[in-house]
Amino acid sequence: MKLKSLFFYVLFVFAIVSCEDRTPEEVVVPSWLTPRLIELEESGDCFGCTVQRWTYKNEYFYHLYCGFWSCLDCEVYRVNGDHVVWGEDIDHADYDQNKHRPVKIWECGDELEAE
């Protein structure tokens, strides 16, 4: 019984010590994307529009999508603002299968603050 208690105590201490004390990364709309979002808001057609930041191959990608658009991935940008050209820059199927860690950074009606 003492061995079992000791095991759980050691496991608990290990779990406490191994946890990193990280501050969450602040999520902001990139300055290069702000004019596009302002354009959407001023058009009156931004209802249902969102921007999500995805991670793919250790790089951030920004996905702008409005629910009424006919294409799902027509506005995807690299972290520097370059528009992704499917098939030339990135394999769309691989991106779709391996993107992860989505973070919603903007939704129609949110106040815009550039970096």
What are the structure tokens assigned to 96, written together? 């779709």
* 80 within 8 A of 95, measured Cβ to Cβ: no
pTM here is 0.74
Confidence class of residue 109 from pLDDT cuts 50, 70 and 90?
confident
Specify which residues 51 forms β-bridges with.
64, 106
48 Ramachandran zone, left/alpha/beta (phi>0; psi -120 to 50): left
Radius of gyration of the CA atoms of the chain, in A: 20
Tell the residue number behind the tokens 């000791």, with chain if given.
6
Say whether pLDDT at 114 is over 60.
no
